[in-house]
Amino acid sequence: DTAQLYKNHRDLGQAIKESGVPRSDIWITSKVNPAESRSVADVVKSVDKTLEDLGVPYLDLMLLHGGEGWGVKRPLDLELWRGLQEAKSQGKVRNIGVSNHNRQEIEFLTAETGVKPVVNQIEYHPWVPVETRELVRWCQKEG
């Protein structure tokens, strides 16, 4: 797992190259930095940059890194989600999902596009609030 926000794609790419492990044996997840993308085209370009920095031909999973809790309003979240759909249709990513999104945000993206995120990556540990536990149960129910 990595992210554009972490600024470690080149280091990870070098480690992958030096490992000698075939690309098909590694699962790579990254996240779009919503502060640096404003359109479908921006997202596709950011995915291209991630692929270049990692030195790989595709990503297994690309996520939107944060929703309203990160200051990303619904219209922008929707535009970025459409950007991930475009990157997927171009074969740059195999799966798309979200990170740190709530139920309402996921329902909105799905209703507007007909495309459900394959995952909602969130922080989870024994001390998370009840709302987080409820979100996990809902995500599990939704598949």
Q: Which residues carry out catalysis? A: 6, 65
Count other Cβ atoms within 10 Å, centred on residue 47. Answer: 26
Q: Which helix (H) or strand (E) is 98 found in, with range?
A: strand 96-99
Which tens digit of pLDDT belongs to each residue from 33-49? 998 999 999 999 999 99
Q: How far apart are CA 134 and CA 112, in angstroms?
A: 23
Count other Cβ atoms within 10 Å, centred on residue 26. Answer: 11
pLDDT at 66: 85
Count other Cβ atoms within 10 Å, centred on residue 97. Answer: 21
pLDDT at 95: 98
Q: What is the pTM of this model?
A: 0.93
Q: Which helix (H) or strand (E) is 47 found in, with range?
A: helix 40-54
